[in-house]
Amino acid sequence: PINIEFGQEAQTAAAQKLKIGLYFAIWWALNVVFNIYNKKVLNAFPFPWLTSTLSLAAGSLMMLVSWVTKIAEAPKTDFAFWKALFPVAVAHTIGHVAATVSMSKVAVSFTHIIKSGEPAFSVLVSRLLGETFPLPVYLSLLPIIGGCGLAAITELNFNLTGFMGAMISNLAFVFRNIFSKKGMKGNSAGGMNYYACLSMMSLFILTPFAIAMEGPQVWALGWQNAVSQIGPNFIWWVVAQSVFYHLYNQVSYMSLNEISPLTFSIGNTMKRISVIVSSIIIFQIPIQPVNALGAAIAILGTFLYSQKIAELKMDLLQDICSSFKRW
């Protein structure tokens, strides 16, 4: 019977690994499609506040329809749930709009190179919240910061708003991930419905700001311009960027629900490699060797950092195990 139990456990663990692997592959593929259509739209229609709002609106609508038609079961929420969701939604809104503004100003690859520095921000925020790490963790941040810095100063199309947008997005998403993981722990909503509620609340927060920052008049003019440039198919580009934004985030939240924030951030960095490479090929972005070197150092730095954090967790685990043994 013990062997059977072990066999079953191994099977469950393998099935779980397969499921996470599948989530990751779908997440990255959907993200690449989103990034391509988002940039195509922004090139012809440079209104990032509206495109960010449309992404949230598409997700909210899709989820409302799924609930009404019972394709997905609607979550049971109360006031406390929405109250706890509010800071997550604020961070999600800021991180989303800042990244989109960044991508409207610079190459998609550049935004994602800077966004690969997200782990450095997570250490900074944890430090501010009072958590300290051993020296090797801080040292492992140096290649991330150095690599991002090198990529930034050698970027052919450098733009300060583009750079700052990606930096602000990093900071906001660190808070979003910390609050989300905490928020998801205590409720039964599940990753998919949790992200659906997050989209709805973010849409509510972002809409008045989008109107104030850009507004219907410039949108109407910009739309006419884009349609005359691209043709009537332009609307499908907007639909694609909006729908794929929701889908990739939904899948990423479904995986965040099952894994630690650390595994999530490693998955997210690997995702950026596929986005950087595919956008360089599709948009034929000119890059200098030193610029590519900076990106490679930054991404390698993220792996080193993840390794350090993972070791730290292992040490902690070993400490706990040996105290148990002593006890």
Site for ligand 3PG in 302-321 (CB under 6 A): none
Count residues binding ligand 3PG (CB under 6 A). Answer: 6
Binding residue for ligand 3PG, selected from 23, 54, 94, 96, defined by CB under 6 A: 96
Cβ closest to ligand 3PG, residue 95 vs residue 267: 95
Provide the minimum distance between the beta carbon of 115 and ligand 3PG in the complex, in angstroms, as a whole number: 6
Q: Hey, which residues between 106 and 165 contact ligand 3PG (CB under 6 A)?
A: 115
**Closest residue by Cα to residue 107 from 238, 239, 292:** 292
**Distance in Å, CB of 153 to ligand 3PG, minimum:** 23
Query: Measured from the CB atom, is 234 or 253 closer to ligand 3PG?
Result: 253
Nearer to ligand 3PG, 38 or 228 (CB): 38
Pick the closest to residue 257 from 174, 312, 305, 187 (CA basis): 187
Q: 75, 188 in Cβ contact below 8 A?
A: yes
According to the binding rule CB under 6 A, does residue 176 interact with ligand 3PG? no
Q: Which is closer to ligand 3PG, CB of 35 or CB of 193? A: 35
**Of residues 105 and 115, the one with the C-beta less far from ligand 3PG:** 115
Pick between residue 49 and residue 173 the one whose CB is nearest to ligand 3PG: 173
Pick the binder of ligand 3PG from 93, 100, 109, 302 (CB under 6 A). 100
Query: Alpha-carbon distance 76 to 83, whole Å?
Result: 14
99 binds ligand 3PG, rule: CB under 6 A: yes
Structure tokens at 239: 């639909």
Helix ranges (H only) for the chain are 2-44, 48-68, 79-105, 108-115, 118-128, 135-153, 160-185, 190-213, 216-230, 234-256, 261-282, 289-326
Please, what is the minimum distance in Å from the beta carbon of residue 273 to ligand 3PG? 12
Minimum CB–partner distance for residue 7 and ligand 3PG (Å): 39
Rule CB under 6 A: is residue 246 a binding residue for ligand 3PG? no
**Is residue 291 within 8 Å of 154, Cβ to Cβ?**
yes
> Shortest distance, CB of residue 96 to ligand 3PG, whole angstroms?
4
Task: Indicate the helix (H) or strand (E) that contains 73.
Answer: none
Q: Is 173:95 a contact under the CB 8 Å cutoff?
A: yes
DSSP string for residues in 28-42: HHHHHHHHHHHHHHH
Q: Is 70 left (phi over 0), alpha (psi -120 to 50) or beta?
A: left
Helix axes 2-44, 261-282, angle to 10 degrees: 40
Regarding 39 and contact with ligand 3PG (CB under 6 A), the answer is: no
Binding status of residue 173 toward ligand 3PG by CB under 6 A: yes
Which residues are at the interface with ligand 3PG (CB under 6 A)?
Answer: 95-96, 99-100, 115, 173
